[in-house]
């Protein structure tokens, strides 16, 4: 196996991915810092699951899976917030009509 990727570079890369995912999905939810932290959390979760399952990957493949996790968690978070806000608005609209 080649050179081991520095952990700090890994964290910076997935933090940027989390931020970018939050920007792509959009919204004014909890901000950029939350997107960065969710991105790091998603990447670490994917990495933990792969390592726990005994799956060893070269650094580039581990990075790609981690980027997937870093992008997925902020997207799911923001979409779930949108769904919750939409449901709340629908309930208040229905309640005000009665």
In this prediction, residue 2 carries a pLDDT of 47
Residue 93: per-residue pLDDT: 67
19 within some domain:
yes
Domain assignment present for residue 97? The answer is: no
Predicted local distance difference test score (pLDDT) of residue 1: 45
pLDDT of residue 63: 79
Domain that holds residue 40: 7-92
Tell me the residue length of the chain.
Answer: 98
Reported pTM: 0.69
State the DSSP string of 16-74: HHHHHHHHHH--SSS-HHHHHHHHHHHHHHHHHHHHHTT----HHHHHHHHHHHHHHHH
Residue 2 in any domain: the answer is no
Instruction: Domain count for the chain, please give it.
Output: 1
Averaged pLDDT, groups of 10, the chain, 98 residues long: 68 84 73 83 86 84 83 83 76 66
User: Is there a contact between 25 and 74 (Cβ–Cβ < 8 Å)?
Assistant: yes
């Amino acid at each position: 196996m080649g050179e081991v990727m520095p952990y700090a570079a890994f964290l910076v890369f997935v933090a940027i991915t989390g931020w970018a995912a939050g920007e792509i999905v959009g919204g004014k939810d909890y901000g950029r810092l939350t997107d960065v932290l969710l991105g790091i959390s998603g990447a670490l979760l994917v990495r933990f699951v792969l390592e726990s399952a005994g799956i060893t990957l070269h650094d580039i493949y581990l990075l790609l899976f981690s980027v997937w996790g870093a992008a997925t968690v902020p997207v799911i978070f923001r979409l779930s917030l949108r769904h919750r806000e939409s449901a709340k608005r629908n309930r208040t609209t229905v309640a005000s009509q009665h």
